[in-house]
Amino acid sequence: MDQRLLTFRLLQVFRQVVQHGSITAASRALHLTQPTVSLQLKKLSDAVGTPLVDYQQQKLQLTAAGELLYQAAQDIDERLSELRFQLSQQQSGSIGSISLAVVNTAQYLLPELLAAFYQDYPAVQVTLHIGNRARILERFEQQQDHLYLFSHPPSGDHVHAKPVVRNPLYLVAPLTHWAAKQSKLSFKQLKTERFLLREPGSATRMIFDTWLSSQAIELAHSMQIETNEAIRLSVSAGLGLAVLSAHTLQLPHDRLVILPVQGFPLSSHWYLVRHTNKRLPPAAVRLQQFIEQSLAKWHDPLGV
Domain ranges for the chain: 3-92, 96-166+269-296, 169-258
141 and 231 Cβ atoms separated by less than 8 Å: no
139 and 165 Cβ atoms separated by less than 8 Å: no
Q: What is the pLDDT of residue 144?
A: 92
Pick the CATH number of 96-166+269-296 from 3.40.50.920, 3.40.50.300, 1.10.40.60, 3.40.190.10: 3.40.190.10
Q: What percent of the chain has pLDDT over 70?
A: 93
Pick the CATH number of 3-92 from 3.30.465.10, 1.10.150.20, 1.10.1530.10, 1.10.10.10: 1.10.10.10
Helical (H) or strand (E) element with 272: strand 269-275
Q: Is the pTM of this model over 0.85?
A: no
120 and 94 Cβ atoms separated by less than 8 Å: no
CB atoms within 10 A of CB 268: 21
Q: What percent of the chain has pLDDT over 90?
A: 38
Which of the pair, 271 or 93, is modelled with greater confidence?
271
Query: Looking at the predicted structure, is the pLDDT value of residue 302 above 70?
Result: no
Q: What is the pLDDT of residue 249?
A: 84
Reported as a pLDDT band with limits 50, 70 and 90, residue 84 is: confident
96-166+269-296 and 169-258 in the same fold: yes
Q: What is the pLDDT of residue 92?
A: 59
Q: How far apart are CA 161 and CA 148, in angstroms?
A: 9
> Please, what CATH class does the domain formed by 169-258 belong to?
alpha beta
Q: What is the mean pLDDT of the chain?
A: 87
Q: How far apart are CA 199 and CA 210, in angstroms?
A: 14
Query: Looking at the predicted structure, is the pLDDT value of residue 40 above 80?
Result: yes
Query: Looking at the predicted structure, is the pLDDT value of residue 131 above 70?
Result: yes
Distance of CA 92 to the CA centre of its chain: 15
Query: Looking at the predicted structure, is the pLDDT value of residue 64 above 60?
Result: yes
Q: What is the pLDDT of residue 171?
A: 95
CB burial class (10 A; 0-12, 13-18, 19+) of residue 291? buried
Query: Looking at the predicted structure, is the pLDDT value of residue 213 above 90?
Result: yes
Query: Looking at the predicted structure, is the pLDDT value of residue 191 above 90?
Result: no
Q: How far apart are CA 112 and CA 106, in angstroms?
A: 11
Q: Is the peptide bond between 51 and the residue preceding it cis, with omega within 30 degrees of 0? A: no
Residue type, 191: K
Backbone angles phi, psi at 61, to 5 degrees: -130, 145
Give mean pLDDT, residues 164-187.
91
Question: What is the CA angle 62-64-66, rounded to 5?
Answer: 50
